[in-house]
Amino acid sequence: MAYLTINNLHKRFDDHVVVHDFNMSIEQGEFVTFLGPSGCGKTTVLRMIAGFETPTSGRICVGGEDITQQAAQKRGIGMVFQSYALFPNMNVTQNIGFGLKMRKCPADDIKRKVAEVIKLVELTGKEGHYPHELSGGQRQRVALARALVVEPRILLLDEPLSALDARIRKNLREQIRDIQRRLGLTTIFVTHDQEEALTMSDRIFVMNQGRVEQEGRAEIVYTEPATEFVARFMGNYNLLGAADTNRLLGLNISGHLAIRPESIHVLDGHSQQDGTLAGTIRQHQLLGNIIRYQIESAGITLQVDRLNRTASDLMPAGTEVRLQISRDDMREVR
């Protein structure tokens, strides 16, 4: 039996339905991500799990216990907020120890547990500092420590990295994942960043307009998008309509055809290989280890990614090329 189950969760604010029939189940120790654009309902679902919003209908169960109507204080669910939400009047030790104090833990236990978790999040030496004396990354680690120290049944992370700069974000996401694995903590992470979702998650729920568009393991969601929305949101997929697909590849489909930019092989313009398409490079973008080309073929512009090995790999605009696309790399989506 799953550890967290959500059945037919529905949330309406006045006339606006924010979450439609949301269903999910999570195993203990799993790291799950809600991924989607702003306003897709991912944070609302998280807030309903935390107990900050009451569902219009539906059920939330943790470990077999129905917590739908339970007060947030009694749920034993930890939360880390995007804005850190540290208490400005308390220093690092007091912030982290607050939850234990509320649970009336003995002072010695609080001291020991706070010291342990400070070590875990690598904040040793910052115990007496107030939130305004810490950097963004340090504040978020205090917030993480504060949520972890009470040993929550589930840890909720509401876009905890989005206020941080790129380098700190990368370090912190590795640290969060490492701590989550070590503690075997059931975790739900909310983000609008595909890279964060792909690198951190066991499973991803891609959400759009209050519904789950697709759910599955990170690598499956990326390579096998189920809908046009997922294909657009998860990467830089080439999405061809039925008419374009027929014109370019001679295939008859009803929905859209999704082709990943890195699955299109670029061959020399003189290549005589069967099943290839003629194309002309229109422009390119250098993305570090990748060069992204805009290649026109049969009047359709395709995005194609190639590894940036040496400077001589770069093909200038106007170069004639042949494109090879395997049938296995084409995916029909709704």
Partner 1 sequence: MKSTSRLGAWVAIAIGTLYFVLPLIATFEFSLKMNRDGYSFEAYKVVLADPGFQATFGYSTLMAVLTIIVGILLVVPTAYWIQLKLPRLRPLVEFITLLPLVIPAIVIVFGYLKLYNSSSWLPLTGNERATDLLLMCSYVTLALPYLYRSVDAGLRAIDVRTLTEAAESLGASWPSILLQVIFPNVKSAILSGAFLTFAVVIGEFTMASLLGRPAFGPYLQLIGANRAYEPSALAIIAFMVTWASMGLIQVFARNARPARKTA
Single out the residue of 260, 303, 310, 259 nearest to residue 281, CA to CA: 303
CB of 217 to partner 1, least distance (A): 29
- What is the distance between the alpha carbons of residues 235 and 231, in angstroms, rounded to a whole number? 6
**Closest residue by Cα to residue 80 from 140, 134, 149, 22:** 140
Three-class secondary structure of residue 84 per DSSP:
coil
Nearer to partner 1, 104 or 182 (CB): 104
Q: Which CB atom, from 103 or from 181, has the smaller least distance to partner 1?
A: 103
CB of 132 to partner 1, least distance (A): 6
**Closest separation between CB of residue 214 and partner 1, Å?**
29
Give the gyration radius of the chain's Cα atoms.
24
Residue 101 CA: distances (Å) to CA of 50, 76, 84, 86: 20, 14, 20, 16
Minimum distance between the CB of residue 44 and partner 1, rounded to whole angstroms?
13
Indicate the residue among 72 and 239 with the shorter CB distance to partner 1.
72
Angle at 286 between CA 264 and CA 279, to 5 degrees: 35
Using the minimum distance from each CB to partner 1, give the nearer residue, 144 or 264.
144
Residues sharing a CB contact under 8 Å with residue 70, sequence separation 6 or more, in sequence order: 51
- Shortest Cβ 103–partner 1 spacing (Å): 6
Q: CA dist 167 to 137, 172, 196, 212, Å?
A: 10, 9, 13, 31
CB of 79 to partner 1, least distance (A): 4
Write the CA distances from 201 to 158, 177, 184, integer angstroms.
14, 8, 13
Q: Give whichever of 13 and 52 is closer to partner 1, judged by the CB atom.
A: 52
Strands 4-13 and 57-62, how do they pair?
Answer: antiparallel
Smallest distance, partner 1 to C-beta of residue 32, A: 18
The residues that touch partner 1, with contacts defined as CB under 8 A, are 50-52, 71-79, 81, 83-89, 98-99, 102-103, 130-132, 139, 143, 146-147, 150
- Give whichever of 83 and 273 is closer to partner 1, judged by the CB atom: 83
What amino acid occupies position 293?
Y
Q: How far apart are CA 227 and CA 16, in angstroms?
A: 24
Axis-axis angle for helices 136-148, 92-102 (nearest 10): 20
CB of 128 to partner 1, least distance (A): 15
Q: Are strands 4-13 and 16-26 parallel, antiparallel or unpaired?
A: antiparallel
Closer residue to partner 1, CB minimum distance, 11 or 306: 11
Q: Using the minimum distance from each CB to partner 1, give the nearer residue, 65 or 332.
A: 65
